[in-house]
């Protein structure tokens, strides 16, 4: 049997999809290899979207994180090591933190924010935050993405009556 397996569900358990069962070993291996090749092309296409240095940020690129302080509104560097190999590069490390108990310096671990490279909102864990990116280490593409995200956020906020 060959299938895709996802852990992206409320229970965090393996969730098999698109299963193919066969008695022929070579047929199963061919299905598996075809799916691996499709994944290679998907990752290649994803990485080609980011034509900049993909070397992961390290602790030297950060103002070290003090877990008791708020990181809301700051661009933080997420640790690349826990991620799957294809996501272990700088594009997926810079996040504009905007909420969560972990982000405010509270007792929780949840940090909500927007990935600067993809523009997608997601949840991270505070223990994966290495620190705030040093201003001199902020890449040009990230500064541009940050400005774009902040402009979009301002446009979403409701205007007060006095401003109309």
- 79-95 as b/e: b if 16+ CB within 10 A: bbeeeeeeeebbbbbbb
How many Å is the Cα radius of gyration of the chain? 20
Mean pLDDT on 69-87: 84
Please report the pLDDT score of residue 161 as a whole number: 58
Please report the pLDDT score of residue 159 as a whole number: 60
pLDDT digits (tens, 9 = 90+) for 24-64: 999 999 999 999 999 899 888 887 887 777 788 999 999 98
CA 27 to chain centre: 35
- Pair of tokens at residue 14: 């393996």
CA–CA distance, 50 with 100 (Å, rounded to integer): 28
pLDDT digits (tens, 9 = 90+) for 8-24: 777 778 888 899 999 99
Residue 162 clears pLDDT 60, i.e. is over it? no
Query: If you search the block for the tokens 């199963």, which residue do you land on?
Result: 28
Query: In degrees rounded to 5, what are phi and psi of residue 139?
Result: -70, 155
Please report the pLDDT score of residue 8 as a whole number: 74
Residue 164 clears pLDDT 70, i.e. is over it? no
Q: Is 94 helix (H, G, I), strand (E, B) or coil?
A: strand
Q: Is 62 helix (H, G, I), strand (E, B) or coil?
A: strand
pLDDT digits (tens, 9 = 90+) for 117-141: 888 899 989 999 999 999 999 999 8
Contact 133/56 with Cβ under 8 angstroms?
no
Q: Please, which residues have CB within 8 angstroms of residue 18's CB and are 6 or more apart in sequence?
A: 3, 4
Query: If you search the block for the tokens 């001199």, which residue do you land on?
Result: 136
Nearest to 57 by CA among 91, 96, 85, 82: 91
Please report the pLDDT score of residue 11 as a whole number: 78
Please report the pLDDT score of residue 160 as a whole number: 58
CA–CA distance, 104 with 95 (Å, rounded to integer): 15
Contact 47/79 with Cβ under 8 angstroms?
no
pLDDT digits (tens, 9 = 90+) for 83-117: 776 777 888 899 999 998 888 887 888 999 999 98
């Amino acid at each position: 049997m060959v299938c895709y397996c996802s852990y992206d569900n409320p229970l965090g358990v393996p969730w098999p999809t698109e299963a193919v069962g066969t008695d022929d070993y070579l047929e199963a291996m061919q299905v598996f290899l075809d799916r691996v090749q499709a994944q290679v092309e998907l990752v290649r296409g994803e990485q080609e979207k980011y034509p900049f240095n993909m070397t992961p940020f390290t602790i030297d690129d950060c103002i070290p994180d003090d877990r008791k302080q708020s990181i809301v509104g700051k661009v933080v560097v997420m640790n690349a090591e826990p991620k799957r190999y294809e996501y272990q590069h700088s594009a997926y490390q810079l996040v504009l933190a905007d909420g969560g108990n972990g982000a405010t310096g509270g007792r929780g671990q949840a940090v909500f924010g927007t990935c600067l490279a993809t523009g997608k909102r997601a949840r991270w864990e505070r223990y994966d935050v290495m620190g705030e990116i040093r201003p001199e280490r902020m890449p040009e593409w990230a500064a541009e993405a940050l400005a774009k995200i902040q402009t979009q956020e301002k446009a979403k906020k409701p205007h007060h009556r006095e401003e109309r």
